[in-house]
Structure 1
Amino acid sequence: MDYLHCMSIIILSLLISVATTTTTGLKACNFPAIFNFGDSNSDTGGLSAAFGQAPPPNGETFFHSPAGRFSDGRLVIDFIAEGLGLPHLSAFLDSMGSNFSHGANFATAGSTIRPQNTTISQSGYSPISLDVQSVQYSDFHRRSSSLSKQGVFADLLPKQDHFTQALYTFDIGQNDITSGYKLNMTTDQVKAYIPDVLRQFSNAIKNVYGQGGRSFWIHNTGPLGCLPYILDRFLVTAAQVDKYGCSTPFNQVAQFFNTKLKETVIHLRKDLPSAAITYVDVYSIKHTLITQAKKLGFEKPLIACCGHGGKYNYNGHRKCGSKMTVNGKEILIANSCKNPSVRVNWDGVHYTEAANEWVFNQLVNGSFSDPPLPLRMACHRMDH
Structure 2
Amino acid sequence: MGFLVQLVAFILLPLLASMRAEDTINSSQPCDFRAIFNFGDSNSDTGCMAAAFYPEVSPYGQTFFHEPVGRASDGRLIIDFIAQHLRFPLLSAYINSIGTSYRHGANFAAGSSTIRRQNRTVFEGGTPFTFEIQIEQFNQFKQRTGKFFNQARKNSFRRHFPRPEDFAKAVYTFDIGQNDIAAAINRVGTEDSHAVISDIVEHFAEQVEYLHKLGARTFWIHNSGPIGCLPVAMPVHNNATNHTQEAGYLDQNGCINYQNDMAREFNKKLKNFVLKLRAKFLDASFIYVDMFSAKYELISNANKEGFVEPSEICCGYHKDGYHLYCGNKAMINGKEVFAGSCGDPSKYISWDGVHYTEAANRWIANRIINGSFSDPPLSLTHSCRAVPI
Q: TM-score, normalised by structure 1?
A: 0.89
For 1:318-337, list aligned pairs within 5 A. 318-324=324-330, 333-337=338-342
CA-CA distance at 1:228 after TM superposition: 1.5
User: 1:102·1:158 contact (CA, 8 Å) conserved in 2?
Assistant: yes
1:261 to 253, 256, 270: 270
Secondary structure of the structure 2 residue equivalent to 1:168: strand
Deviation per residue, 1:171-194 (Å, 9 max, x gap): 000000111233x33397222211
Instruction: Give the Cα–Cα distance (whole angstroms) in 1 for the partners of residues 302 and 380 of structure 2.
Output: 25
Counterpart of 1:305 in structure 2 is: 314
The residue number in structure 2 matching 1:225 is: 228
Name the CA distance, whole Å, in 2 between partners of 1:356 and 1:61: 13
**Structure 2 CA distance for partners of 1:197 and 1:137, relative to 1, 3 Å:** same
* Matches of 1:62 and 1:251, distance apart in 2: 31
Indicate the residue corresponding to 2:287 in structure 1.
278
CA distance in 2, matches of 1:220, 1:244: 20
| Residue in structure 1 matching 2:157, options 153, 158, 175 | 153
Q: CA deviation at 1:381?
A: 2.3
Question: Which runs of 5 or more structure 1 residues have no equivalent in the other structure?
Answer: 1-18
Partner of 1:67: 69
Which residue is equivalent to 1:174? 178
Indicate the residue corresponding to 1:126 in structure 2.
127
- CA–CA distance in 2 between the matches of 1:78 and 1:292? 24
Alignment-mate amino acid for residue 40 of structure 1:
S
Match of 2:255 in 1: 246
Q: Tell me how large the CA RMSD over aligned residues is.
A: 2.3
Report the equivalent of 2:78. 76
User: Take 2:337 and 2:370, find their aligned partners in 1: how far apart are those partners?
Assistant: 41
Question: Which residue number corresponds to residue 100 of structure 2?
Answer: 98
1:21–1:209 CA distance, 2 compared to 1 (3 A): closer
Would you say the 8 A contact 1:187–1:253 is kept in 2? no
Q: Distance in 2 between matches of 1:99 and 1:341?
A: 30
Give 1:166-205 correspondences, 5 Å limit: 166-182=170-186, 184-186=187-189, 189-205=192-208
Residues in 1 aligned to 2:383 and 2:360: alpha-carbon distance in whole angstroms: 23
What's 2:6 paired with? none
For the 8 Å contact 2:120–2:127, the answer to whether it is kept is: no
Q: Which runs of 4+ in 1 moved over 6 A?
A: none
1:315–1:43: structure 2 CA closer, same or farther, 3 Å change rule? Answer: farther
Matches within 5 A, 1:128-143: 128-143=129-144
Find the aligned partners of 1:77 and 1:164 in 2 and give their Cα distance: 20
| 1:291 partnered with 2:300 | yes
Q: State the SS of the aligned residue for 2:384.
A: coil
Task: Render the CA deviation track for 1:72-122: whole Å, top value 9, x for unaligned.
Answer: 000000000000000000000111111111000000010000011221112
User: What is the alpha-carbon distance in structure 2 between the residues aligned to residue 323 and residue 343 of structure 1?
Assistant: 22
- Give the equivalent residue in structure 1 for 2:44: 42
Secondary structure in 2 aligned to 1:73? coil
Which stretches in structure 2 are left out of the alignment for 5+ residues? Answer: 1-20
User: Which of residues 358, 371, 378 in structure 1 aligns to 2:383?
Assistant: 378
Identity %: 44
**Contact 2:314 2:350 (C-alpha < 8 Å) held by counterparts:** yes
Pairwise CA distance, 1:48: 0.7
**2:27, 2:378 → 1: CA distance?**
12
Q: Verify the 8 A CA contact 1:307 1:315 in the aligned structure 2.
A: no
**Inter-partner Cα distance in structure 2 for 1:70 and 1:360:** 16
